[in-house]
Amino acid sequence: VQLVEAGGGLVQAGGARRLSCSHAGRTFYSMGWCREAPGEGREFVARMSARGGSRHYAHSVEGRFTIYRDNGKNTVYLQMNSLKPEDTANYYCAASTSYYSDLEQQYDYWGRGTQVTVSS
């Protein structure tokens, strides 16, 4: 199973960016986005259940980021608004076949990541 992220790039503080994760039609129990900044561990910023009924966000992004899916396109998105320099990180899409969790080890598939850089 391949997860392919897209949408990263350079954006000014206060701007917006939308990341996408295509998953070739496979159905998962949950999907999420996490990020990793240089010298820091991975942080799950958003996750949603398979049917979209449950969504959770890290406190650091709540109110600014939105995770949603387009089943017709087999794609999960992360809309990021009001970006801050501290949002700079490599963003990864992840999928779990069994859990709805913010624990890395409970995700079975990972994308390669897409870099988001927010300039001040």
DSSP structure class, residue 63? T
Q: Would you state the structure tokens that stand for residue 16, as one six-digit string?
A: 């917006």
Provide the β-strand partners of residue 65: 80
Q: What percent of the chain has pLDDT over 90?
A: 75
Highest-pLDDT range among 43-52, 60-69, 97-106: 60-69
**Size (the chain), residues:** 120
pLDDT higher than 90, residue 59? yes
Query: What is the model's pLDDT at position 114?
Result: 97
Residues 1-57 have pLDDT tens digits of 799 999 999 999 999 999 999 998 788 999 999 999 989 989 999 999 987 789 999
**31-43-35-65 Cα dihedral, nearest 10 degrees:** 70
- Could you give the C-alpha distances from 67 to 3, 39, 77, 85, 103, in angstroms and in order? 16, 25, 6, 20, 17
